[in-house]
């Protein structure tokens, strides 16, 4: 994959020889967790079925589809629609409940190396604590708290649309588990940094920025919405510039690590999120188009770093240069 704005690599560092891709240290630190590399799937775009096309042990972590404490059905079909550079989905978080997950899915991860991150949703703040306690079983490495799902106490708006609901939901989970907890934020907000800070204050160990953007498409012949649920979440390359901005804003607003998510296709996209301040990234939609996207990105990231004399991937994190470009000096002065 060649990215439209790909540039030739910068020249090798003076005097030194380039490291070999195999010698690049891909590991990253995510709060209390050390991951072998920064590439992991986004919730809802991965399952153990992917073992049919790749070696799961290569991933930095596993992130499962969001589950609720109790079983629930999903949305009407059509549940997806494609757009020019992305997709809409209104799957609607069908779930067979925590107990079913523990019994039916957890065993598939036993013996695999990467940590399993369980994504947890709930309808109300009160439901989060017990569900988090129930899922805190051996084999689960962290809980990703999907506070971008609708909060039934707030007229269906997401917890993560409000700092106070974010704080309440994350605090409930924090009190109920000793596992690392990640807050998955929604981009459907005016000020994501304020939400990020509320999650941090409630004890989140990391942030995932972000879930899908609420969007819509209409079939102009039938005049029906293209999704059975009328509106749905937008993901894929089209959303990347928005998600990158939000990840950058969050990384500057909090001290906990940020995991970037949205529109990753190329190794340059991964590098862009890391440089913007993310410690790791999640890959979603691209896996639907290219099931081997994550292992490809891991290989390419090692080569990309090697070609630029970068020995450790984590040295890229947050290195965006905000100093004024000399060629802009005239503008900044005027």
Ligand X SMILES: Cc1cc2nc3c(=O)[nH]c(=O)nc-3n(C[C@H](O)[C@H](O)[C@H](O)COP(=O)(O)O)c2cc1C
Contacting residues toward other proteins, per CB under 8 A:
2, 4-7, 44-47, 49-50, 52-53, 65, 73-74, 77-80, 82-87, 89, 91, 94, 236, 287-292, 327, 330-331, 334
Say how far apart CA 251 and CA 174 lie, in whole Å.
Answer: 21
Helices (H), 74-145: 97-100, 125-135
Instruction: Pick what 22 binds: a second copy, ligand X, ligand FAD, none; C-beta below 5 to 8 Å, kind-dependent.
Output: none
Instruction: Pick what 178 binds: a second copy, other proteins, ligand X, none; C-beta below 5 to 8 Å, kind-dependent.
Output: none
Task: Give me the phi and psi of 14, to 5 degrees please.
Answer: -50, 135
| C-beta of 238 vs 301, nearer to other proteins | 238
Helices 163-176 and 192-201, axial angle in degrees (round to 10): 30
Long-range CB contacts for residues 284-289, cutoff 8 Å, separation at least 24? 284/41, 284/42, 284/44, 284/45, 284/235, 284/236, 285/45, 285/86, 285/87, 285/235, 285/236, 286/236, 287/41, 287/45, 287/46, 287/50, 288/45, 288/87
**Interface pick for a second copy out of 33, 56, 208, 244 (rule CB under 8 A):** 244
Residues 128-167 binding ligand X (CB under 6 A) are 146
Say how far apart CA 309 and CA 20 lie, in whole Å.
Answer: 9
Query: What would the x/- binding string for a second copy be over residues 58 to 77, using CB under 8 A?
Result: ---------------x-xxx
How near is the Cβ of 42 to ligand X at its closest, in Å?
Answer: 3
Q: Which helix (H) or strand (E) holds 258?
A: strand 258-261
Instruction: Tell me which residue has tokens 């949205």.
Output: 262
How near is the Cβ of 5 to ligand FAD at its closest, in Å?
Answer: 6
Choosing from 149, 250, 278, 305, the catalytic residue is 149
Determine the longest span between alpha carbons in the chain, in angstroms. 66
Residue 149 falls in the annotated catalytic set: yes
CB atoms within 10 A of CB 177: 21
**Interface pick for a second copy out of 53, 126, 175, 218 (rule CB under 8 A):** 218
Instruction: Pick what 174 binds: other proteins, ligand FAD, a second copy, none; C-beta below 5 to 8 Å, kind-dependent.
Output: none
Question: Is position 93 an interface residue for ligand X (rule: CB under 6 A)?
Answer: yes
**Interface pick for ligand X out of 145, 198, 253, 283 (rule CB under 6 A):** 283
Name which of 50, 47, 85, 6 is nearest 263 in CA terms: 85
Buried b (16+ CB within 10 A) or exposed e, 189-204: beebbebbbbbbebeb
Map residue 96 onto helix, strand or coil.
coil
Query: What would the x/- binding string for a second copy be over residues 124 to 163, using CB under 8 A?
Result: ---------------------------------x---x--
CA distances from 174 to 37, 115, 122, 130, 270 (A): 26, 19, 15, 11, 30
Instruction: Pick what 89 binds: ligand X, a second copy, ligand FAD, none; C-beta below 5 to 8 Å, kind-dependent.
Output: ligand X
Parallel, antiparallel or unpaired: strands 39-41 and 206-209? unpaired
Query: What would the x/- binding string for ligand FAD be over residues 50 to 89, using CB under 6 A?
Result: --------------------------------x-------
| C-beta of 82 vs 164, nearer to other proteins | 82
Helices and strands, counts by H and E, the chain: 9, 14
**Interface pick for ligand X out of 18, 21, 91, 214 (rule CB under 6 A):** 91
| C-beta of 64 vs 165, nearer to a second copy | 165
| C-beta of 38 vs 92, nearer to other proteins | 92
Q: Which residues bind ligand X (CB under 6 A)?
A: 42-45, 65-66, 89, 91, 93, 119, 146, 184, 211-212, 235-236, 239, 261-264, 283-286
Active site residues: 149
């Amino acid at each position: 994959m060649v990215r439209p704005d790909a540039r030739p690599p910068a020249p090798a560092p003076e005097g030194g020889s380039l490291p070999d891709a195999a010698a690049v240290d891909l590991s990253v630190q995510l709060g209390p967790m050390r991951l072998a590399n920064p590439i992991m799937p986004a919730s809802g775009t991965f399952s153990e079925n992917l073992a049919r096309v790749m070696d799961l042990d290569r991933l930095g972590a596993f992130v499962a589809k969001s589950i609720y404490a109790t079983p629930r059905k999903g949305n009407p079909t059509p549940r997806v629609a494609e757009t020019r550079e992305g997709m809409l989905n209104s799957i609607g978080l069908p779930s067979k409940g925590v107990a079913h997950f523990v019994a039916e899915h957890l065993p598939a991860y036993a013996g695999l190396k990467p940590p399993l991150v369980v994504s947890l949703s709930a309808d109300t703040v009160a439901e989060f604590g017990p569900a988090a306690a129930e899922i805190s079983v051996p084999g689960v490495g962290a809980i990703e708290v999907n506070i971008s799902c609708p909060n039934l106490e707030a007229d269906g708006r997401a917890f993560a649309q409000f700092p106070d609901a974010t704080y309440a939901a994350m605090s409930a989970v924090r009190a109920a588990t000793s596992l690392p907890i990640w807050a998955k934020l929604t981009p459907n907000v005016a000020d994501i940094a304020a939400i990020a800070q509320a999650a941090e204050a409630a004890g989140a160990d990391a942030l995932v920025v972000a879930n899908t953007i609420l969007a819509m498409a209409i079939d102009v012949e039938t005049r029906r919405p293209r999704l059975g649920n009328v509106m749905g979440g937008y993901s894929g390359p089209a959303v990347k510039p928005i998600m990158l901005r939000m990840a950058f804003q969050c990384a500057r607003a909090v001290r906990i690590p940020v995991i970037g998510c949205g529109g990753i296709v190329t190794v340059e996209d991964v590098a862009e999120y890391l440089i913007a301040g993310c410690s790791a990234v999640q890959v979603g939609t691209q896996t639907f188009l290219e099931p081997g996207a994550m292992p490809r990105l891991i290989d390419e990231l090692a080569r990309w770093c090697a070609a630029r004399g970068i020995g450790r991937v984590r040295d890229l994190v947050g290195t965006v240069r905000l100093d004024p470009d000399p060629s802009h000096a005239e503008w900044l002065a005027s």
